[in-house]
Amino acid sequence: MLENKCSVISFSGGMDSTSLLLNLLSKKHDIYAISFKYGQKHGVEVELAKKNIAYLQNNGFKDQITHKIFDISNILSSFNSSLVDQNQNVPEGHYESDTMKSTFVPNRNAIFFSLIYGYAISLAKNYKEKISVSIGAHTGDHAIYPDCRLDFFEKLFESFQIGNWDSDRIELYIPYINMDKKEILMDAEKSLNNLKLDFDTIFKNTITSYAPDNNGVSSGKTGSDIERILAFNSLNRKDPITYQDSWERVLDNALKTEKDFISE
């Protein structure tokens, strides 16, 4: 039986789940990172997730990280959401605008969480300590995505505990649930300093846009883009990813979008 702490995480390849992976890695957990292909228009995130896993494994953490990709695109790609429906456009604008509700994928986090919980149960017999199940939901998601709120995860976790044997071996870890993206990046900075890894290398291999172009490049105009750009700027950092326009222009647009939303 293994002595290490172990975590199973939902690992999209975005900045939040990447920060979460770093958080757990800095705590010396064994990590089983589960990425999902679900027909998302930003499917490039899974390829970027693979790049960051390779970077981490090549820099001293090969034995700590196991990466698995679950393909459930035949299920979620038929759901009503602009993230998966090719006939709907992903809206531009502020991340808390009501128009962003079209990006909600019904029951997505319940499905993801069910799968990582089941995987954690399957691993439990191999570990002496409890296994944590973890997802990178945060405050910026609360307004638009009801499946990113604390009460949702607590009730879902409770139901899974009731419905499974060996649930006493599983615990819930959602450290960002009351943090915004700025605070998440600050946590990532701390983790990367502890791990002696490069911030820009890691975050260059992430994407937050829900509507990148055919080359996987973000426009900087969708709600998720705006939130990310503002977070980097709040820490006086330039986002290391390439945008379709210059950093200065996407930042100006993000700041204007934020100002206009607040003044409404």
Q: pTM for the full model? A: 0.96
DSSP SS3 for 132: strand
Joined tokens for residue 178 = 């009351």
What is the residue-level pLDDT of the chain in tens, covering all 264 positions? 666 799 999 999 999 999 999 999 999 999 999 999 999 999 999 999 999 999 999 999 999 999 999 999 999 999 999 999 999 999 999 988 888 999 999 999 999 999 999 999 999 989 989 999 999 999 988 889 999 999 999 999 999 999 999 999 999 999 999 999 999 999 999 999 999 999 999 999 999 999 899 999 999 999 999 999 999 999 999 999 999 999 999 999 999 999 999 987
Q: Which residues contact 145 (CB under 8 A, 6 or more apart)?
A: 104, 109, 137
Maximum Cα–Cα distance for the chain, whole Å?
A: 57
Class of domain 6-210 as given by CATH: alpha beta
Tens-digit pLDDT profile for residues 85-118: 999 999 999 988 888 999 999 999 999 999 999 9
**Angle at CA of residue 157, ends 163 and 188, nearest 5°:** 145
- Integer CA distances (angstroms), 230 to 63, 84, 252, in order: 35, 26, 10
